[in-house]
Amino acid sequence: MASVLHVINPLYSVCGFVVGALVGFTGVGGGSLMTPLLVLLFGIHPATAVGTDLLYAGLTKICGSAVHGFNRAIDWRVTRRLAAGSIPAAAVTLWVLSHFGVNSKGTTTAITTTLGFALILTAVTLIFRQRLLGAMASLMEGRTEREISVLTTVLGAALGVLVSISSVGAGALGVTALLILYPKMQTVRIVGSDIAHAVPLTLIAGAGHWWLGSVDWPLLVSLLAGSVPGIVIGSYFASRVPERVLRPLLAGTLALVGGRLVF
């Protein structure tokens, strides 16, 4: 017990608590918040921030996936389709990162640029989700089950690449895309399926970064120590926070941070 407490950095734990609370409040994936904080605020190397956050996300999403599974709010057919694309894509992406060197200048630039664009896309999704769904509805009419299946696997592949590089994408972006592909499915099942898919994706991508040497274990322990109570408290007070105020504020913050990383 003493050895575990010894590696906990209170400052990182406070950061984990804040991010966990915001995740509980808004439902936005922790990667959209945690990774840019680690890079910009604490000066953590981008590859280390991504690798550590992936394992952090995988471990925290296990609990959420278990709850959704217990409530039968997971469509395992959708989850399998996503995983059929995301797992191979993540493996290929990790191989490419290892080939060029995870700490090389080119890889670092690719990670920060991809992260920045992913944050901007997440911000746009948060603000304009309903408009996007309305605009895409006509394009999805008349699609066969096979076409939907193929598009879901393609979506999974895109998420596999994006998540492996930036740790962002399996939350707001994935849910919005699934809402477009499956407009008749209950939102709670969309969210549950997305979380269930994120567990193996983030854990495999995180394990890949561990293999590449880009995981900081003391940092991971410190983040988990703060985020677990943060998520619980944030989820408890979620219904009391005006979403029409918090969500645009969060989207604006993500857009600014994304712009800072890109430019």
Q: Cα dist. 146→5, 59, 181, 190, 193 in Å?
A: 52, 33, 12, 19, 19
Tell me the residue length of the chain: 263
pLDDT score of 177 more than 80: yes
DSSP string of 16-42, one letter each residue: HHHHHHHHHHH---THHHHHHIIIIIS
Looking at the chain, list the stretches that DSSP marks H as alpha helix, in order from N- to C-terminal side: 2-7, 10-26, 31-36, 46-70, 76-100, 105-140, 145-166, 172-181, 187-212, 217-237, 243-262
Least confident of 39-43, 181-185, 248-252: 248-252
Is the model more confident about 2 or about 194?
194
**Cβ-Cβ contacts under 8 Å for 126 (sequence gap 6 or more):** 28, 172, 247, 248, 250, 251, 254
Residue 220 lies in a domain: yes
Is the model more confident about 54 or about 134?
54
pLDDT band at 4 (very low <50, low <70, confident <90, very high): very low
Residue 123 lies in a domain: yes
Residue 100 lies in a domain: yes
pLDDT score of 15 more than 80: yes
Residue 26 and residue 53 in contact, taking contact as beta carbons nearer than 8 Å? no
Q: Cα dist. 176→132, 180, 221, 253 in Å?
A: 8, 6, 31, 19
Residue 1 lies in a domain: no
pLDDT score of 243 more than 70: no
pLDDT at 241: 62
Residue 163 lies in a domain: yes
Residue 81 lies in a domain: yes
Domain residues for the domain of 138 are 9-262
Nearest-angstrom CA–CA distance, 203 and 171: 15
pLDDT at 67: 75
Record the tokens describing residue 159, joined without a space.
């998420």
Residue 87 lies in a domain: yes
Residue 4 lies in a domain: no
Record the tokens describing residue 217, joined without a space.
């274990």
pLDDT at 2: 40
Domain count, the chain: 1
